[in-house]
């Protein structure tokens, strides 16, 4: 069955984690779905890298965090926050590709 991440999550957000990292939090609506996604690893390094068009080596951490039924992905910021070429100093609007992420499970 195909799922759209946006339909099964209560929070999808991005933010700087310090000036050199960008971090994404995906918090699920319920533990059942979180556990299914975790078991299938439906959110994984390869899928995330493709979604953002970045090399997998830019992903610093992809962690399933049970207490918050959440997946956290942290990547190397394409440039340090506020450097020439910046588009989002706080990194708070970089999450939208995740909102269109669909997968089969």
Partner 1 sequence: MEELRILSPTAILGYGFPMESFVEGMKRNPHVIAVDAGSTDPGPYYLGAGKSFTDFNSVKRDLEIMIPAAIEAGIPVVIGSAGGCGGHPHVQFVVDIVKEITREKKLTYKLAVIQSELDKELIKSKLTKGEVIPLHPAKEITVADVDETVRIVAQMGEEPFIKALNEGANVIIAGRSYDPSVFAALAIREGFDRGLALHMGKILECAAIAALPGSGSDCMFGYLQKDGFILEPLSPLRKCTTLSVAAHTLYEKTNPYFLPGPGGALNLHQSQFEQITDNKVKVTGTVFEPTPEYFVKLEGVKKVGCRTISIAAVKDPVMIEKIDSIVENVKNRVKNNFESYGIKDFFLDFKIYGKNGVMGLFPGSEDRVAHELCIVIEAVAATQEQADTICGFARSTMLHFGYEGRISTAGNLAFPFSPSDCKVGDVYEFNVYHLMKVDDPSEFFPIEYIDFKTGN
Q: Which residues lie near partner 1 (CB under 8 A)?
A: 11, 15-21, 23, 25, 27, 51-54, 60-61, 63, 65, 67-70, 72, 74, 76-90, 93-94, 96-97
Please say which residue, 16 or 42, places its beta carbon nearer to partner 1: 16
Nearer to partner 1, 10 or 41 (CB): 10
Q: Where are the alpha helices (DSSP H) in 29-91?
A: 31-40, 45-52
Start-to-end CA span in the chain (Å)? 6
CA–CA gap between residue 12 and residue 29 (Å, rounded)? 11
Question: Which region, left, alpha or beta, applies to residue 18 given φ > 0 means left and ψ of -120 to 50 means alpha?
Answer: left
- For residue 1, the minimal CB distance to partner 1 (Å) is 25
CB of 38 to partner 1, least distance (A): 14
Task: Give the nearer residue to partner 1 in terms of CB position, either 1 or 85.
Answer: 85
Based on CB atoms, which residue is closest to partner 1, 42 or 74? 74
Do 52 and 35 form a contact (C-beta atoms < 8 A)? no
């Amino acid at each position: 069955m195909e799922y759209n991440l946006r339909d099964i999550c209560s929070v999808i957000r991005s933010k700087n984690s310090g000036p050199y990292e960008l971090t994404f939090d995906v918090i699920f609506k319920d533990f059942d779905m979180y556990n299914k996604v975790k078991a299938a690893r439906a959110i994984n390094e390869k899928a995330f890298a493709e979604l953002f068009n970045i090399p997998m080596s830019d992903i610093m951490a992809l962690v399933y965090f049970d207490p918050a039924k959440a997946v956290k992905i942290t990547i190397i910021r394409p440039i340090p926050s506020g450097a020439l070429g910046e588009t989002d100093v706080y990194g708070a609007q970089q999450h939208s590709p995740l909102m269109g992420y669909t997968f089969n499970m």
